[in-house]
Structure 1
């Protein structure tokens, strides 16, 4: 089924996105023209921190959990797989994930990976899979 949609097939080149997640993202987002930048896509999925504050001081809270819960769940599960193999791999994404897990905890690191994955989805949709950084590509 995924072979019928070249855009969905291109999404599978991102770490953490497989044959179930890619068509679901493509069905919900399409080509992503409604998002001006990658952060807007991540915010639409509910993967960015809530911001509160007053007097110029901004405090970041938990993720907003707004948007499509099914897509967010798929991205979180894909991020769990990336986190599972991060100790054995030697690339910048894995190093970042391991360091973040040590600083902030495993579950927050998983949400951070899902956030980065959503942003890479926007990059693939707008600029093509060739513009994806090498350490985000599947082997």
Structure 2
């Protein structure tokens, strides 16, 4: 499954991801904090949009290296 854009709602323990698939519509998924990196490691490169908050910079730094390996 190739996801082209992912919206990421950041909260303390549960993250909600809204992934848009260009071919089949949309998928929504809730993840625990510890599952986020694993989720993105298994996916194709995608544009990730997240809210502007204190932890957004942290998650951007965590996810950027994953796109360089694909």
- Scaled by the length of structure 1, the TM-score of the pair is 0.17
Looking at CA atoms only, which structure, 1 or 2, has the larger radius of gyration?
1
- Scaled by the length of structure 2, the TM-score of the pair is 0.28
Larger relative strand fraction: 2
